[in-house]
Chain A
Amino acid sequence: MIKIDLHKKLATNGGEMNLHIKTEIQSKSLTTVYGASGVGKTSLLRMLAGLLTPDAGSIDVNGSYWYDTKQKINWKPQSRKVGFVFQDYALFPHMTVQENLTFALEDKKNNQTIADLIEIVELGDLKSRKPDTLSGGQKQRVALARALVCKPSLLMLDEPLSALDTEMRSKLQDYILQIHKEFNLTTLLVSHEMGEVFKMSDEVVVIEEGKVTRQGKPEVLFSNQQVSGKFQFTGEILNIQKEDIIYIISVLIGNNLVKVVADEREATLLSVGDKVLVASKAFNPIIQKLGD
C-alpha cells in the first residue's frame, strides 16, 4: 500500500493553488488519477517520482518512507526505482530504440531483459531506429518498455495516450493492462478520458482543484444509477455519438446543448428525438447573481 499525504503550493495560470493530496493506493492495483487539466495530477506523479519536492507531508511505500518532512527523509529520484512514462515520451533522440532501453539497464550484461521487453511490446523490427522516425504509438511502446527495464514496483503513466488516435489508444490500453498484470505492478495512470478510466482502472482517484474529492471503483463513482436527482431538466436527444467505450449524448434543454455520458446499455435504449430527463447530484453547484 502507498500512503500519500502531500502539500505543495503551485503557481498556475489562475494564480496560486494549494495542492493537498491525501490518499491510499492499493498495491498491485491499477489506479487512475482523474481530473480536468491543471488540477495537479501531473504534479502528484512528479512528487511521487521525486522530480518535484513537496512543501510538506509524507510518502509511505509499503512501510518505507520515500519522503517525510518530519523525519527529514527525501529520496532522490534515482533511488526510488519507479517506472515513469512521460506525456511527451522523453525518448533520448540520439539513441536508437535498443540504446534507449539499454541506457536504463544497471547491469549492461543483462541483455536478456531488453530482448524480452522488446518482444513484449513488439518492437523487434524497429530496434535500430531513432525515435524521430517512429510514430506516436511506437514511441509510446518504447517509452513503456524503457520504464520497465529497471523492474519497478510502481509504474506511473502521465496521460500517455492523449496524443494518439482512438484506435491506437485502445490498442495501447491493452498493452498497458497486459503489462500491468504480467509484471505484477502497482500502476498509476493519469487520465482525463472517462472511457479510458472505465476500461482500465480498478480504482479512481478524482482530483478537483488540488484536493482528492472522491475515490472508489469507477462504476460506482461515475455510474448514473447512484445519482439521486437534485437538479433535473427535461430535453430532447439531438445526437448519440460513440466515444471509446462510452457514448456521448447531446441533449437540447431549453436553448442549451448539454452533453451527457452514457454507457452502452443505456445508449441502446435511447434514440435521437427521445424526450429524456437529465438529472445531476448537487456536487458543486455554481450560483451567481445575474446583472439587472
Chain B
Amino acid sequence: MEWEPIILTFKLAFVTTLILLFLSIPLAYWLAYTKNRFKPIFETLVSMPLVLPPTVLGFYLLITFSPNFFIGQWLNEWFGVKLVFSFGGLVFASVLYSLPFMVHPIQAGFSNLSSSLSDASYVLGKSKTTTLFKVLLPSIKPSLLTGIVLAFAHTIGEFGVVLMIGGNIPNQTRVASIAIYDEVESLNYGAANTYSLILFAVSFIILLSVYLVNGGYVKKIIK
C-alpha cells in the first residue's frame, strides 16, 4: 500500500473546499436575497450535481477540456493549462461536483435569518459588506461549518467524475477511491481494504464532529 493516494485525496478535498468557500458565500448570499426572476434556473443549475450521474458531468468536462475542443485548445494555447488528466482538472471538476453541498447549507442559513438583523445593521449605519461579515456570517456559523465539512467529505468520496476526467495517474489523479478500485481489479484485496478502512474512519470522524459541534454537545462538555 502507498500513502500517495490518501495524501492526494486530502489535498484535493482541501483545495476544493477552500475554493468552494470563497465561491459559495457570494453565490449563496445572492441566491438567498435576490428577487431576480431567473433565480429558479440558477438554483437548478447549482443542484444539478446532486442528481446527475457523476459520469455525465465527467464526460462533458472531458469533452470540453479536451485539447481537440476549442475551449481546451484555447486554455492550453493561451495559459498553458491542461485540465484533462491533471490535478487542476480534478480540482475544477470537484468544485462543480461539490458545489451544492457548500451552497445549500449557507443559502439556507441566510434564508433562515430574520431580515430584521440586516435591517437593524443598516439602520445603525453599517454598509452591506460590514453587515455581511460582522452580522450575517457570524450568525450562520453552524451552516458554514456544515457546508465546509459536507463539501470536504463529499470530495473525498467522489469517484465517477475523477475517473472520467482524471484517470489513474499516480501522484496526480490517483485518489484513494480510484486506488481502491484499481487494487480490487488487480485482486489486491488487502490494500483495497486498508484504503477503504482509512476512508471509512476519516469520513465517520469528520461527520461526527459536525454533529457534535452543531448539536451543542461540545459546548456542554466545555461548560
Pair B134/A103 contact, Cβ less than 8 Å: yes
Within A30-56, which residues are at the interface with B (CB < 8 Å)? 46, 49-51
Pair A51/B122 contact, Cβ less than 8 Å: yes
Bound Cα distance from A81 to B135, whole angstroms: 19
**Any chain A CB within 8 A of the CB of B125?**
yes
Pair A106/B138 contact, Cβ less than 8 Å: no
Pair B139/A150 contact, Cβ less than 8 Å: no
- How does the 8 Å CB contact mask read for A73-108 relative to B, with 1 for contact and 0 for none? 000111111111011101011100000000110100
**Any chain A CB within 8 A of the CB of B123?**
yes
Pair B116/A77 contact, Cβ less than 8 Å: no
Pair B123/A82 contact, Cβ less than 8 Å: yes
Bound Cα distance from A76 to B119, whole angstroms: 11
Pair B125/A81 contact, Cβ less than 8 Å: yes
**Any chain B CB within 8 A of the CB of A149?**
yes
**Any chain B CB within 8 A of the CB of A146?**
yes
Within A147-173, which residues are at the interface with B (CB < 8 Å)? 149-150
**Any chain A CB within 8 A of the CB of B82?**
no
Contact among A46, A87, A88, A106 with B125 in the assembled complex (CB-CB below 8 Å): A106
**Any chain A CB within 8 A of the CB of B214?**
no
Residues of B within 8 A of A83 (CB): 123
Contact among A76, A90, A94 with B120 in the assembled complex (CB-CB below 8 Å): A90
Nearest CB of chain A from residue B118's CB, rounded to whole Å:
9
Pair A92/B119 contact, Cβ less than 8 Å: no
**Any chain A CB within 8 A of the CB of B186?**
no
Pair A88/B124 contact, Cβ less than 8 Å: no
> In the complex, what residue of chain A is closest to B126 when comparing beta carbons?
A78
Query: A51-B122, A82-B123, A104-B124 known; A88 and B141 CB under 8 Å?
Result: no
Pair A84/B120 contact, Cβ less than 8 Å: yes
Chain B interface mostly: helix
Query: A84-B120, A86-B119 known; A94 and B126 CB under 8 Å?
Result: no
Pair A94/B139 contact, Cβ less than 8 Å: yes
**Any chain A CB within 8 A of the CB of B127?**
yes
- Give the total of A residues in contact with B, Cβ under 8 Å: 26
- Give the total of B residues in contact with A, Cβ under 8 Å: 17
Contact among B119, B124, B134 with A149 in the assembled complex (CB-CB below 8 Å): B124
Using a Cβ cutoff of 8 Å, how many contacts connect chains A and B? 59
Nearest CB of chain A from residue B43's CB, rounded to whole Å:
22
**Any chain A CB within 8 A of the CB of B114?**
yes
Residues of B within 8 A of A93 (CB): 139
Pair A146/B124 contact, Cβ less than 8 Å: yes
Contact among A76, A82, A87, A94 with B138 in the assembled complex (CB-CB below 8 Å): A94
Residues of A within 8 A of B121 (CB): 92, 103
> In the complex, what residue of chain A is closest to B138 when comparing beta carbons?
A94
B122, B127, B134, B139 interface centre (most CB from chain A within 10 Å): B122
Bound Cα distance from A80 to B124, whole angstroms: 9
Pair B119/A88 contact, Cβ less than 8 Å: no
**Any chain A CB within 8 A of the CB of B197?**
no
B120, B127, B135 interface centre (most CB from chain A within 10 Å): B120
Contact among A77, A146, A149 with B122 in the assembled complex (CB-CB below 8 Å): A77
Pair A94/B141 contact, Cβ less than 8 Å: yes
Residues of B within 8 A of A79 (CB): 125
Bound Cα distance from A155 to B32, whole angstroms: 30
Nearest CB of chain B from residue A153's CB, rounded to whole Å:
14
Pair B124/A103 contact, Cβ less than 8 Å: yes
- How does the 8 Å CB contact mask read for A53-79 relative to B, with 1 for contact and 0 for none? 000000000000000000000001111
> In the complex, what residue of chain B is closest to A92 when comparing beta carbons?
B135
**Any chain A CB within 8 A of the CB of B15?**
no
Bound Cα distance from A92 to B117, whole angstroms: 7
Residues of B within 8 A of A80 (CB): 123
Pair B139/A51 contact, Cβ less than 8 Å: no
Within B122-154, which residues are at the interface with A (CB < 8 Å)? 122-127, 134-135, 138-139, 141
Pair B123/A49 contact, Cβ less than 8 Å: yes
Pair A90/B125 contact, Cβ less than 8 Å: no
Nearest CB of chain B from residue A271's CB, rounded to whole Å:
46
Residues of A within 8 A of B126 (CB): 78, 103
A-B contacts besides A51-B122, A51-B123, A146-B124, 13 pairs, CB < 8 Å:
A46-B119, A80-B123, A81-B125, A84-B123, A86-B119, A90-B119, A92-B120, A92-B135, A94-B141, A103-B124, A103-B135, A106-B125, A149-B124
11 contacts between A and B (CB under 8 A): A46-B119, A77-B119, A77-B122, A78-B125, A80-B123, A81-B125, A92-B117, A94-B139, A103-B124, A103-B135, A104-B124
